Amino acid sequence: MSTWDTLRPVKTSLTGIKPTHLPHLGNYLGAIRPALSLVEEYRTLYFIADYHALTSVRDADDLRGYIRDVAATWLACGLDPERTLLYRQSDVPQVFELTWVLGCLTATGQLERGHAYKDALGRGEAPNAGLFNYPLLMAADILLYDTDVVPVGKDQKQHLELTRDAATRLNHLYGDETLVVPEALISEAPLVPGTDGEKMSKSRGNGIPLFAPPKKLRKVIMSIKTSSETLEEPKRAEGSTVYALYSLVAPEHAPEMKQKLEAGGYGWGHAKEALYEAVEAEIGPKREAYLEIRADEPRLDALLHAGASRAGEIAERTMQRVRAAVGIE
C-alpha cells in the first residue's frame, strides 16, 4: 500500500490534461500551480487525456511527444507520484465501456448543444464524431474513479453538467449506489495575458513557453506589447500586460514595480527585465528538473504505467458495479 491509498480525508479530486501542445506560462499559472495545491486537501488523480487530444492532433509523433512533455511538466512542477495518481487515459480501457453505457443514457440533443461542437459548426467546419462525443468520454473519465470534485476552468462547466446528468440518470434507473455524482470546482485562477495582451493561448501564438531556454524566454518577454511613453514619463501599471504578468509571478514585489512605473524614470524595458528575472526565478529550477525527467523516456513511461495499473484497479471496480447494474456481466 502506498501513501496515496492511505490518504485521509478521502474526497477525490480528478482532472484531465489534454496533450495538444507544449505547456505555456498561462497553463502553469492558471491550471498546473492551482491543481497541485489541491493535494493537501484531496486524494488526487491527474491524467493525460490523450484520446481527447486525438480529436484535434493529427501527427502521431507530435502526440507521442506532447504526452511525455505534459507528464514531465507536471512532475517537474511538483507533482509527487507517491501522493497523486498520474496516468494516461488510454492505459485504462474501461473508460470506453463506461463511455458507451453513458452514451446510451444521454440524448443526442444534449450533445448537439455542446459548446465545442456548436462552435465548430458555427465556423462552417464539419466536426468529427469524436468532437461530438467528447463530453461522454470526459464524463466516463470522471465517473470511473468515484470522483467527488473536478477542478476545471469555466469553459468546462457544461461538460460537468452533462456528467452529473448522466450519473444521476444511471443511478435513478439502476440504483443510487452505482456512481458518485461529482461537483465542479471552477477555477478562480485569473486569466493570464499573452505577449499581445489577449488571453495567453496556444492558438493565438502569444504564449510565453514554460520551459524554453533562458535566452528564448527573455526574447519572448522582451516582445511583450507596451504603450510608448518615454523612459522619463510616468506610466500606468494597471492595465499593462507586463505588470499583470509580474503581479501573478511575483505578487510580493508588485507594489514596488507599480510605484516605480507611476513615478517615471523607469522604462518598460526595466519592467520587462524584472519580469524576466521573476519568471526565471520561479521556472529555472523546474526547467532543470523537466529536462532531466523528459530525457529519460523509459523511466517516464514506467511511471505512467505504474499509475495506470493502480488507476485500472479503481476503474475495474466501478465497471463491475456498472456492468452488474445494467445487466451485462
Q: Can you give the binding site for ligand TRP, defined by CB under 6 A?
A: 14-16, 18, 49, 52, 138, 141-142, 150, 152, 156
Nearer to ligand TRP, 14 or 76 (CB): 14
Q: Tell whether residue 202 is a contact of ligand ADP (CB under 6 A).
A: yes
Nearest approach in angstroms of CB 16 to ligand TRP is: 3
Q: How far is CA 32 from CA 16, 24, 150, 208, 251, in A?
A: 11, 10, 14, 15, 18
Q: How far apart are CA 32 and CA 243, in angstroms?
A: 21
Which residues inside 30-69 make contact with ligand ADP, applying CB under 6 A?
30-31
Name the E strands within 70-209: 84-88, 149-152, 183-186
| Pairing status of strand 149-152 against strand 84-88 | unpaired
Residue 237's binding partner among ligand TRP, ligand ADP, none (Cβ under 5 to 8 angstroms by kind) is none
Nearest approach in angstroms of CB 194 to ligand ADP is: 7
Partners of 183 in the β-ladder: 149
| Close Cβ partners of 177 (under 8 Å, ≥ 6 residues apart) | 171, 321
Q: Tell whether residue 210 is a contact of ligand ADP (CB under 6 A).
A: no
Nearest approach in angstroms of CB 223 to ligand TRP is: 27
Q: Determine phi and psi for 151, rounding to 5 degrees.
A: -75, 115
Nearer to ligand ADP, 239 or 327 (CB): 239
Looking up cell 518577454 gives 221
Residue 142's binding partner among ligand TRP, ligand ADP, none (Cβ under 5 to 8 angstroms by kind) is ligand TRP
Q: How far apart are CA 2 and CA 167, in angstroms?
A: 30
Nearer to ligand TRP, 103 or 197 (CB): 103
Q: How far apart are CA 96 and CA 90, in angstroms?
A: 9
Nearest approach in angstroms of CB 171 to ligand TRP is: 19
Of positions 86, 140, 185, 192, contacts ligand ADP by CB under 6 A = 192
Q: Tell whether residue 159 is a contact of ligand ADP (CB under 6 A).
A: no
Return the range that interacts with ligand ADP (CB under 6 A); candidates 131-139, 167-175, 185-193, 225-233. 185-193
Q: How far apart are CA 158 and CA 188, in angstroms?
A: 17
Q: Tell whether residue 133 is a contact of ligand ADP (CB under 6 A).
A: no
Cis before 9 (ω within 30): yes
What is the enclosing helix (H) or strand (E) of 160?
helix 157-174
Residue 31's binding partner among ligand ADP, ligand TRP, none (Cβ under 5 to 8 angstroms by kind) is ligand ADP
Residue 49's binding partner among ligand TRP, ligand ADP, none (Cβ under 5 to 8 angstroms by kind) is ligand TRP
Q: Tell whether residue 304 is a contact of ligand ADP (CB under 6 A).
A: no
Chain centre to alpha carbon of residue 12: 17
Look at phi and psi of residue 29 and say left if phi exceeds 0, alpha if psi is from -120 to 50, else beta.
alpha
Residue type, 301: D
Of positions 93, 130, 153, 269, contacts ligand ADP by CB under 6 A = 153
Nearer to ligand ADP, 105 or 116 (CB): 116
Residue 16's binding partner among ligand TRP, ligand ADP, none (Cβ under 5 to 8 angstroms by kind) is ligand TRP
**H helices of the chain, where?**
3-6, 25-27, 33-37, 50-53, 60-76, 94-104, 108-112, 115-122, 129-143, 157-174, 214-222, 241-249, 254-263, 268-295, 297-326
Residue 52's binding partner among ligand ADP, ligand TRP, none (Cβ under 5 to 8 angstroms by kind) is ligand TRP
Site residues for ligand ADP per CB under 6 A? 18, 20, 26-27, 30-31, 153, 189, 191-192, 199-203
